[in-house]
Structure 1
Amino acid sequence: MNQTYTKSQKIRLLFYILIPILITQIGLYAMTFFDVMMSGQYSTEDVAGVSIGSSLWTPVYTGLSGILIALTPVVSQLVGSKQSKSVSYSVMQAVYLAVTLALVILIIGTFALNPILNAMNLEDTVHRVAHDYLIALSIGIIPLFVYNALRAFIDALGQTRISMIITLCALPINVIFNYLLIYGKFGFPELGGVGSGYATAITYWLIAMVAILVVVKISPFSTYKVFREFFRISWKEWRALLIIGVPIGLAIFFETSIFSAVTLLMSKYDTVTIASHQIAMNFASLLYMMPLSISMALTIVIGFEIGAARYKDAKEYSWIGISMALTMSLVLSAILFLFREPVASAYTKDYNVMMLTSHFLIYAIFFQISDALQAPIQGILRGYKDVNVTFAMSLVSYWILGLPIGFIFAKYTDMGAFGYWIGLISGLALGAIGLAARLRYIQQVKYKKMV
């Protein structure tokens, strides 16, 4: 990355970093999308099972992998402050941490998976598919976390196109294995929705191996000599990463786990309602890739500017990013409203599921404005290494306020399952307001004398 001097230069650089991140995020999301969609074409029970398995896995994965996001501002600030020799050491420690986190998930999952699924009182077929899907997916957890650490390093250097290329190459492989293993084509076993778990695990191994080769062989990454020396584990470095990463991971976990909590609460409804809810949530997650990608791009550029002590430039990037996210949210909301029924039909052939999904998608529209504000601000604050308030705000807005609001609407009004979506929308809106206040404090008070 290079220093920018005008607003137009900043916009160009932000887009240069952003577009590959967006394509990468959509590609990673598309793996889950195709898992759900192709399972839906197989049967309603399979799509319900895969959707529930995915909803349980997503908050765990995003929360713990969020810890590894700490490497992005760390590397960005090291590069911005010309401390390049420390980069390899920090990256290797992040890789060690990634493997450790993956092993922790596997150990806990061994004991916790069945009790969680049993508590949901699912139909037998849905229970079996969800369980076996997660077991299959677990084969790829270690390489997935290693890839996330390496991607944080790659992206921190502003080389986001590399992550994009890796993901785009992996996506068709994921779809092909889905086709072979879900439907049992060309001599492969017909596993239904469970096959999509194995397909995704295979893909995770491939992207990890490619990322390692890129970091070792291709410039500018090879100049940092990552994997050339295997340092001893440094508890001090782990502590430095965890101080930043744990609040980031917890904030992401509180945000994503609220959706899983709603899925658990909705398990009392019939399979059609569960499938419709999960399909609508799956597509809402696709739309979230835009503000999330802007958030990740802002972390990189702002971390670089803060490392170089260019605080005025960091503030200008902030407002460019937020404005961009708000504009895109209006466009995406309009598209979703106009095409909600075709979107629903892409996931399922079941008419009842399709029509109920289209109703849920109307509520998903209201996610967009709040996401367009809170996600970029989270990325901005990470660039400043200000993460603790974001964590607290996520806990309060989603769990202390949002979930109870949803429960009240669902239980004590005639809204039923839609009431939980009202709670989710309320939590997102409250979180966005709190984060906006925190950003104002950081820029107007904490860094005011430095600008």
Structure 2
Amino acid sequence: MNRANAIELSSQPNSFVEEIKLTAKLGWPIVLSNLTQISLPIIDGVMVGSIHSNQLAAASLVINLISIPVLLCMGLTMAISPLVSASLGKSDYKSPLEILVNGMFIGGIFSLLLALIFHFGKEAVFHLGQDLEVARIAQDYLVIIAWRLVPFALFSSLSRFAQGLGETRLVMTLNLFTIPLNIFLNYILIFGHWGMPFLALKGAGYGTFLTQFFALILFVFIIFRSEKFSRYRIDLGAAIQIKLTRIREIIKIGVPVGIQLSLESGAFAFSGLMAGWLGVHQQAAHQIGIYISSLTYVVSIGICTAGSIRVAFFFGKKDWDSVFSIGKSTAILAFIIGSIFSLILIAGYVHIPSLFSKDLEVIRFAKIVLLMTALFQLSDAIQATSAGILRGIQDVKIPTYLSLIAYWVIGIPAGYIFAFQLDWGITGLWMGLILGLSFNALLLTFRFFRKVSQSRKLVNELSILNEF
């Protein structure tokens, strides 16, 4: 590992402020990487929204349907970063590439199965109580975006591997490459330029798929050819073998993480379906809120991923004092970021909706949604961060149960009651989401600091006994 990355992962800062700076230094490239990934479907929505509100509503429907499979794929690959980082903490430089290869195998198989399910089950869009024209437009887009899951899962595996090694700027550079490429391909395929047919939303799907595929090919070439990763390719023959022990290790962390992410995303996706029951304008407005909250959420995910990687490094060393310090500083950094986003959204809620739609009814509802989005920024940032640093100490099972309670026992039922029983409409749906996020933030944060404090106490007691 080069010296810069070693410092980012393993340095012992002299002050609390330095601790925050260290995590932020590792995290900001991850933030930009996540923003570029999440921006691909947002670019689709913005570009087709100029055609008709039905196109934006259809994009909303597909994104809601595909969000859970996307996060299941992400969850499997998110196990790679802490496992790789923990290996470095143990000075084990053979395992990272083994973890990557087996992670790509699992992610590839799983994403292929999901793509086949959506391909042959595309008629489901007509049985969700949505507008028929919206469902018709969404059908073909759903199939294309489903097949995008395969290159997405493989690219995500490579990204988590590189991030676990501290190579966050490389991942950022590759992701930034996808933005102009996606806009260029969308421009040609959506609007029918340069001799291509006018494909509207379907063209956005093709553009996003091709963008992800090209990025994947480039990343594979870099990992297996670049001098930067040469120390992990010393025993390449052994590293590229499929090993059941590695698969079980990845699944043990990745499946609960995927379920945990899916529980949260599923709550937002189901609220999107409920927004469709309120009408096309409310559904489009809800999706604008999802687009914006997704952007702010991936910033929190980037910071929590950096914290998770650093926590995992010291977890591998069994240095619980450093784990506690990193967890605390990461949580405070998340609080600061959440506060900033709340203020930005409150200041800009009047103007932001017009970037996505010219429909006055959509804009009217979207203003309400963005104010609600501003309210949950703190809870969202803290719960995302707490979940990430818990992954760093490989605690994923109980947090999944806690998320189930927060979102599906509290959040979604409350949103339904507020929206339909109390007749609060779209405001009620988002009130339920805020309640679920806040409850999850409280539970996960308490669990991390309780577990780490117990481990620190145990280590100190053992140290005292050893002195005698």
**TM bucket by the smaller chain?**
over 0.9
Aligned-residue offset at 1:444: 1.5
Counterpart of 1:174 in structure 2 is 182
- The residue aligned with 2:464 is none
Deviation sequence 1:392-441 (CA, Å, 0-9, x none)? 11111101111111111112112022211111111001111111221122
Alignment check: 8 A CA contact 2:30 2:306 kept: yes
Which of 293, 296, 304 lines up with 2:302 in the alignment? 293
Which of 406, 410, 434 is matched with 1:401 structurally? 410
Name which of 30, 40, 64 aligns with 1:55: 64
Partners of 1:302 and 1:102 in 2: CA distance:
29
AA in 2 matched with 1:311: W
Residues 1:259 and 2:286 are matched in the alignment: no
TM-score, normalised relative to structure 1: 0.96
Gap change, CA 1:213 and 1:9, over 3 Å in 2: farther
1:140 aligned residue (133, 140, 148)? 148
Aligned to 1:308: 317
Deviates more, 1:262-271 or 1:33-42: 262-271
CA 1:202–1:192: 2 relative to 1, 3 Å: same
Worse overlay, 195-204 or 9-18: 9-18
Q: Which residue of 1 aligns with 2:466?
A: none
Q: Of residues 188, 192, 212 in structure 2, which corresponds to 1:204?
A: 212
CA contact (8 A) 1:166 1:211 kept: yes
CA shift at 1:12, angstroms? Answer: 3.4
Specify the code of the residue in structure 2 equivalent to 1:198: Y
Where do 1:45-194 residues align within 5 Å?
Answer: 45-115=54-124, 117-194=125-202
Deviation at 1:227, TM superposition (A): 9.9
Question: Residue 359 of structure 2: which of 350, 361, 365 is its match?
Answer: 350
Deviations 1:32-67 (A, max 9, x none): 211111111111000100111111112210123211
User: Residue 17 in 1 paired to residue 26 in 2?
Assistant: yes
Q: Distance in 1 between matches of 2:235 and 2:159?
A: 14
2:246 matched residue in structure 1: 237
- How far is the alpha carbon of 1:90 from its aligned partner? 1.7
Moved more, 439-448 or 63-72: 439-448
Q: Percent identity?
A: 27
Structure 2 residue 11 is matched with structure 1 residue 4: yes
Equivalent in the alignment of 1:270: 279
Q: Deviations over 1:239-282 (max 9, x none)?
A: 11111111111000101011111122222222111111111111
Task: Name the SS of the counterpart of 2:173 in structure 1.
Answer: helix
Query: d(CA) in 1 for partners of 2:194 and 2:351?
Result: 31
**Do the aligned partners of 1:88 and 1:226 also contact (CA within 8 Å) in 2?**
no
1:99 to partner: Cα distance: 1.0
User: Is the 8 Å Cα contact of residues 75 and 153 (structure 1) preserved in structure 2?
Assistant: yes
SS in 1 for 2:423: coil
Question: Secondary structure, in 3 states, of the residue corresponding to 1:362?
Answer: helix
Q: CA deviation at 1:219?
A: 3.3
Equivalent residue letter for 1:124: L
Consecutive unaligned residues of structure 1, counting only runs of 5 or more, are none
Indicate if the aligned counterparts of 2:342 and 2:374 stay in contact, CA closer than 8 A: yes
Q: Given the alignment, which residue of 189, 196, 219 partners 2:227?
A: 219
Distance 2:122 2:447 in 1: 37
The whole-number CA distance in structure 1 between the counterparts of 2:101 and 2:68 is: 25
- Letter of the 1:218 counterpart: S
1:9 shift after superposition:
4.3
Preserved contact between residue 20 and residue 333 of structure 2 (Cα < 8 Å): no
Distance 1:433 1:240 in 2: 28
1:262–1:350 Cα change, 3 Å: same
Q: Which moved more, 1:418-427 or 1:307-316?
A: 307-316
Change (3 A) 1:63 1:226: farther
Q: Cα RMSD over matched residues?
A: 1.6
Query: In 1, Cα distance between the equivalents of 2:339 and 2:105?
Result: 41
Counterpart residue number, 2:51: 42
Q: Distance in 2 between matches of 1:191 and 1:341?
A: 32
TM-score where L is the length of structure 2: 0.93
Count of residue pairs the alignment pairs up: 450
Q: Which runs of 4+ in 1 moved over 4 A?
A: none
Distance 2:240 2:344 in 1: 50
Q: Could you say which residue in structure 1 is the equivalent of 2:465? A: none
- Are the aligned partners of 2:412 and 2:436 in contact in 1 as well (CA < 8 Å)? yes
Q: Amino acid of the residue matched to residue 429 of structure 1? A: S
- Deviation of 1:107 (Å): 2.5
